[in-house]
Amino acid sequence: MKFIADVMVGRLAKYLRMTGNDVMYINDIDDDQLLKIAAAENRIVITRDTLMLERREFKNGSLKSIFIKDDKLVNQLKQIKSELKISLKPNLTRCLVCNGLLSKVEKLDIKGKVPPYVYKTQNNFLFCKKCTKYYWRGTHYENIKNIFHIVNRAND
Ligand SMILES: [Zn+2]
């Protein structure tokens, strides 16, 4: 399942990438361009824009959409999870910045490329070839896991 998110759901797009989902997000494209990409790449449109949903592509069923109802991130993730019946678990396989796939890098190879404290305390590093960003499961990752814990809690 691949997605394209409109400008109103940028944060949600980032969190979906954390679960390994392919989510395209370009913050300066117009609706026409967005729909064109969605059609060409078979992406589900994630939007909060009711006007966008009036477009012919959605009316005739040639494009799929998810209309996000809530403005709270946790509820947005819950909606995606229940509507698409997919599990949402953080796995750090995709770049949060550019949606590129991450690959493992040897610790020795990145000496001097990440902050010294990080180098000292972390052992597993990932790299995005597309935008040359490094990733590791630092304290920030704990916060992310907590958010998904709430998302996946039953009856909430
Ligand atoms: Zn990247």
How far does residue 156's CA lie from ligand 1's centre (Å)? 33
Instruction: List the domains of the chain with CATH numbers.
Output: 2-84 (3.40.50), 102-152 (no CATH)
Ligand 1 centroid to 154 CA: how many Å? Answer: 33
What's the number of CA atoms in the CB half-sphere (13 Å) around residue 85? 0
Q: How far away, in angstroms, is 58 Cα from ligand 1 center?
A: 30
Whether 117 has a pLDDT exceeding 90, the answer reads yes
Distance 98 CA to ligand 1 centre (A): 4
Per-residue pLDDT of 43-99, as tens digits, reads 999 999 999 999 999 999 999 999 999 999 999 999 999 999 999 999 999 999 999
Q: How far is the CA of 61 from the centre of ligand 1 (A)?
A: 32
Q: Which residues neighbour ligand 1 (ion) by CB within 5 Å? A: 95, 97-98, 100, 128, 130-131
First vs last C-alpha separation in the chain: 26
- The pLDDT > 90 percentage for the chain reads 92
Residue 113 has pLDDT above 90, yes or no: yes
Q: Is the pLDDT of residue 156 over 70?
A: no
Q: For residue 3, give every residue at least 6 positions away whose Cβ sits within 8 Å of its Cβ, in sequence order, or none.
A: 13, 16, 21, 22, 23, 24, 43, 44, 45, 46
For the stretch 26-58, pLDDT in tens is: 989 999 999 999 999 999 999 999 999 999 999
